[in-house]
Amino acid sequence: MFSVTLGVSSAWAVSRYNFPLKKLFEWLLIAPLTIPSYITAYTYAGLFDYGGALTDIGSYLGLPKLDILNIYGLIFILSISLYPYVYVASRAIFLYQSARLIEASNILGNKGVKTLFRVVLPMARPAIFGGVLLVIMEVLNDYGAAKYYGVNTLTTGIFRAWFALEEPNTAVFISIVLLLLLFVFVLLERWQRGKRSFQMATKSSIRLPAIQPSKTERVFLFFIAFTPVLFGFLFPVFQLLKWLAITWEKTVSSDYLSIAIQSVGIALLAATLTILMAVLSIYMPKWNRLRVLAGSTKLATLGYTIPGAVLAIGVMLPTLQIDRWFLKFNQGTNTMFLLNGTIISLVYAYVIRFLAVGFKPLQASQLKLGKSLEESSRLLGKNTIRTFLKIDMPLLKTGIFSALLLVFVDIMKELPLTLILKPYNINTLAVKAYEYASDELIMESALPSLTIIIAGLLPVIFLNKLLLNDS
């Protein structure tokens, strides 16, 4: 509910009104997505610790010290970290909504807040609920924040059963329960949508100009936009920079550089393979009319709905079995081609989990091309592959690049899946930040955390520019 309030209110403010620094807030409101929720959790633990900035402010105001390491603190952390999913979905629908509907509502006497609640929000319900579904998926996938705050969740239960208690059957059972719970939420989203049809306004539609609010209203709108940015992005970055100033001499080393190179290399490799699979998933059903291919494409893109810990176990169990068969076949003499605990299984899991992230923007870009160019090329005697390379690829390069960036950032941030499947001799920035925090070296986690954030800012700015160009 907190994520919905922050996301919808800020999206409505920047979509419909002019106020100071509006252009800056349009992309800053997406910026919390660059900070993984477990990193935000670490920073707020420091902000509310003794000597922390927020504790000092509270002491100056005469307020008691606030204990944030509990379930209520976790709810707050996940809300300010994940509201951008609702913001992006809501802002997109607000930008595309037909002005004629709002004009008709205004003529009928429903202005301002009445129009928002009686016309705009009912029409935007599918987009908002879609954003909420993404928030729910990310909450169920979270491990680092819940573990650090001492809150028992299904995901922490999977790790505890698998590693601490050494009961893989229990971990598998919890994974099945978590997976069923996710499918319930997906079915709920389909049910609430029902057979209702929601049509977006086209670019040719008349659009209402941005409202020029009064001075008091501009202050209020600025507060609405600034609050989530302050708590979701500025406070965590401030705390990380403060920690980095204290610990950079210890953390900036050849080991850090090696881990950064490994993280970027693995993320680039997995992102490239994911985009390749996304392109094949889009074009194979077009090149071959078999219905099985179209159905398998829809099935393949369901990986993002599966939490990382569940997917990791789903990959680990069959690879373990394959390795046992291989060792039995070779009588234990050749271990060169084992799958479990190798980079192969890790990258494979990344591709499954983030295929939908690359598939959606690519599919949207491909649908904009239409069929006329492809049909013209075929009439001129060009085969399918040559048409794709000469016509589709140049026109899709922006969509491919944006999809590659989005997948790259998600892989850089991924923690539960990486913790379970990564090889012993491989480390990533996300895992290193988690290890520092687990070892009570929370200040040392600043450097890998800031590196992840910097790697994620470019796609956020790029995504915002694409959204503005399409509006």
Pairwise pLDDT comparison (298 vs 337), residue with the higher score:
298
pLDDT tens-digit map of 169-196 = 888 888 888 878 877 877 776 676 655 5
In a domain, 48, yes or no: yes
Whole-number Å distance between alpha carbons of 156 and 171: 10
| 196 lies in the same domain as 257 | no
* Domain membership flag for residue 440: no
Report the amino acid identity of residue 134. Answer: L
225 lies in which domain range? 1-248
Does 202 share its domain with 64?
yes
Amino acid 258 reads S
Integer CA distances (angstroms), 282 to 285, 292, 389, in order = 7, 13, 14
What pLDDT digit, counting tens, does each position of 116-165 carry?
666 676 777 777 777 788 888 888 888 889 999 999 988 888 888 877 78
Q: How many CB atoms lie within 10 A of CB 309?
A: 28
Same domain, 342 and 262: yes
Q: Which residue do the tokens 């909450």 mark?
A: 139
Per residue in 307-320, pLDDT (tens digit) is 888 888 888 888 88
Q: Do 274 and 379 sit in the same domain of this protein?
A: yes
Whether residues 329 and 187 share a domain: the answer is: no
- Tell me, yes or no, whether 198 and 285 share the same domain: no
> Which pLDDT value is given to residue 204?
41
Query: Which amino acid is present at 245?
Result: A
CATH number of the domain encompassing residue 204: 1.10.3720.10
- Residue 281 falls inside a structural domain: yes
Count of domains observed in the chain:
2
Burial 209-224 (b: 16+ CB within 10 A, else e): eeeebeeeebeebbeb
The answer on 290 and 220 residing in a single domain is no
Q: In this predicted structure, which of 127-141, 205-219, 417-431 has the lowest mean pLDDT?
A: 205-219
Residue range 64-92: average pLDDT? 88
Judge whether 468 and 452 are in contact, CB under 8 Å.
no
Return the half-sphere exposure (C-beta side, CA atoms, 13 A cut-off) of residue 424.
Answer: 1
